[in-house]
Amino acid sequence: MEIDKAGAEALISQFKMERLLRQDQAGRRIALEGQISDQRAVLVLERAPFPVSESYLSKVSATLKDIQSLGANDVYHWYLASTTSTTLPDEAHHPDLKVNLFYPATDKHVNKYSKQNLHVVHETPQIYKELIRPYMERSRGEGRLRWMRNIIDGNAEVSDVIYRTPRKFGDNHEGFVLLPDLNWDRKTVETLHLLTLVERNDIWSLRDLKKKHLCWLRHMKSMITEAVIKTYLGIQEDQLKFYVHYQPTYYHFHIHVVHVALEAGATQATGKAVGYESIISQLETMAGGEEAGMHDISITYTVGEADDLWNEIFGSQISIEHGSNREHSGMYKEANSLI
């Protein structure tokens, strides 16, 4: 039996909710079970994509309502906001937007969020040593790590810190700080996303991890897990995922901790995220002494064409051949000239 347009639209207002079935897509979709005219019904609500017309985008920031600051650190600012005004009491009102602002923004911020083609690249130990490591050193300058140091030194986001290891005089090699990632709304448990910043400065990325660091890595995971479970009641140990990025955006070692129900987007995808436990396992089974480490292996990952890594290193110097690890002859020439 056909239902006219008006009749179909009227069904929504007749829906009487009984229970929440599921919330997914990072909280952007919910499924509800209920009744319409004494018959069983399932209602799925999903936030529609943003319009991309210039007329809409040029005005969208000015139309946001009930803007609530969650914090600020250096050039990073994050908020909750609503796209429409509401007359609901505070306890019934829920912001429908999580807002991040980078101000003043750099080319690196613009490039990171720009649509771009991706490429799979293969980084050998030689390429890492001769080209990537110097690139990392350059990238650590110009105040790019200031926001991290602000947190580690207790100068920013102090009230947001979930756990900080007790300070040991003259020794910060075991220390770390655990706090919410700026991409989490700090309310939805199943989209939990936390960030762990280590205090030590000698570990820039997973490339610096060696067999001698195994005890530290295991102990840190244990302490992080305990802190999360104590802070967010109801979360179990086997509901937490640990990973690091390679390449990371910032070259100071940090660990991402997320709820297992958080749907994996690009930042958790193969070619970007590396499982923390997998790193530990690889170090455990790696041949060699205490100084053997992740700098000795080849790593394959994705790079965007707007990334400095592509423009400065891979774009013009390496051709990727499916099923082969051979570098372009130009890469051999440059690498050999540096040895």
Condensed to tens digits (0 to 9), the pLDDT of residues 192-240 reads: 999 999 999 999 999 999 999 999 999 999 999 999 999 999 999 999 9
CA atoms of 233 and 246, how far apart (whole Å): 31
Q: What is the pLDDT of residues 115-162, one digit of tens each?
A: 899 999 999 999 999 999 999 999 998 788 999 999 999 999 999 999
Q: What is the pLDDT of residue 97?
A: 84
DSSP string for 44-60: EEEPPPPP--HHHHTTH
* 80 vs 334, more confident: 80
Q: What is the pLDDT of residue 98?
A: 82
Where in the chain are the domains? 5-46, 54-102, 118-338
Residue with tokens 């910060």: 172
Query: Which CATH entry fits the domain spanning 118-338: 3.30.428.10, 3.40.190.10, 3.30.300.30, 1.20.140.10?
Result: 3.30.428.10
Q: What is the pLDDT of residue 84?
A: 74
Contacts with 295 (C-beta within 8 Å, 6 or more apart), sequence order: 125, 128, 129, 207, 208, 210
Structure confidence at residue 93 as a pLDDT band (50, 70, 90):
low
Of 293, 129, 94, 137, the residue nearest 211 (C-alpha): 293
Side-chain half-sphere exposure of 293, counting CA atoms within 13 A: 15
Q: What is the pLDDT of residue 254?
A: 98
Give the DSSP H or E segment for 228: helix 214-231
End-to-end CA distance of the chain: give it in Å, rounded: 78
Q: What is the pLDDT of residue 169?
A: 44
CA distances from 6 to 1, 12, 48, 105, 304 (A): 15, 11, 21, 48, 47
Q: Is the pLDDT of residue 50 over 80?
A: yes
Decide if 232 contacts 313 (C-beta within 8 A). Answer: no
The top-scoring range by mean pLDDT among 26-40, 297-311, 321-335 is 297-311
Residues taking part in catalysis:
254
CA atoms of 6 and 14, how far apart (whole Å): 13
Structure confidence at residue 323 as a pLDDT band (50, 70, 90):
very low
Residues in the chain: 339
CA atoms of 291 and 62, how far apart (whole Å): 55
201 SS3 class: coil
- Tokens for 274, please give them: 């590396």
Phi, psi of 159 (to 5 degrees): -70, -15
